[in-house]
A = this chain, B = another copy of it.
Amino acid sequence: MMIDIPSFQHVKEAHKRIAGYTHVTPVFTSESINKITGADLYFKAENFQKVGAFKFRGACNAVFSLSEEDASKGVVTHSSGNHAAALALAARLRGVDANIVMPENAPEIKKKAVAGYGAKITFCNPTLEARESTTAKIVEEIGATIIHPYDNFYVISGQGTAAKELIETQIGFDVIMAPVGGGGLLSGTALSTKQLLPTCKVIAAEPKGADDAYRSFHSKTLIPSENPNTIADGLLTSLGKRNFSIIMDKVDDIVTVSEEAIVEAMRMIWERMKTIIEPSSAVPLAAILEGKAEIKNKKVGIILSGGNVDLGRLPF
Residues of A within 8 A of B (CB): 26, 45, 47-48, 52, 267, 270-271, 274-277, 307, 311-312, 314, 316
Q: Which residue of B lies closest to A45 (CB)?
A: B274
Check if A274 sits within 8 Å of B316, measured CB to CB.
no
Complex Cα gap A52–B271 (Å): 9
Check if B47 sits within 8 Å of A311, measured CB to CB.
no
Check if B47 sits within 8 Å of A274, measured CB to CB.
yes
A267 is contacted by which of B48, B52, B311 (Cβ under 8 Å)? B311
Check if B307 sits within 8 Å of A316, measured CB to CB.
no
Nearest first, the 9 A-B pairs at minimum CB distance are: A274-B307, A311-B316, A274-B276, A47-B274, A312-B316, A275-B275, A270-B276, A48-B274, A276-B276
Q: Which residue of B lies closest to A277 (CB)?
A: B274
B-side contacts of A316, CB under 8 Å = 311-312, 314
Complex Cα gap A264–B276 (Å): 17
Complex Cα gap A277–B275 (Å): 9
Q: Which residue of B lies closest to A276 (CB)?
A: B274
B-side contacts of A311, CB under 8 Å = 267, 270-271, 314, 316
* 11 A-B residue pairs with CB within 8 Å: A48-B274, A270-B276, A270-B311, A271-B311, A274-B276, A274-B277, A274-B307, A275-B276, A276-B276, A311-B316, A312-B316
Known: A267-B311, A274-B276, A314-B316. 15 other contacts (CB 8 A): A26-B26, A45-B274, A47-B274, A48-B274, A52-B274, A270-B276, A270-B311, A271-B311, A274-B275, A274-B277, A274-B307, A275-B275, A275-B276, A312-B316, A314-B314
B-side contacts of A274, CB under 8 Å = 45, 47-48, 52, 275-277, 307
Complex Cα gap A270–B307 (Å): 10
Complex Cα gap A55–B274 (Å): 16
CB distance from A93 to the nearest CB of B (A): 12
CB distance from A180 to the nearest CB of B (A): 22
Complex Cα gap A284–B277 (Å): 24
Q: Which residue of B lies closest to A311 (CB)?
A: B316
Complex Cα gap A274–B52 (Å): 8
B-side contacts of A270, CB under 8 Å = 276, 311
Complex Cα gap A170–B314 (Å): 39
B-side contacts of A267, CB under 8 Å = 311
Q: Which residue of B lies closest to A266 (CB)?
A: B311
B-side contacts of A47, CB under 8 Å = 274
Q: Which residue of B lies closest to A48 (CB)?
A: B274
B-side contacts of A271, CB under 8 Å = 311
Complex Cα gap A307–B270 (Å): 10
Q: Which residue of B lies closest to A50 (CB)?
A: B31
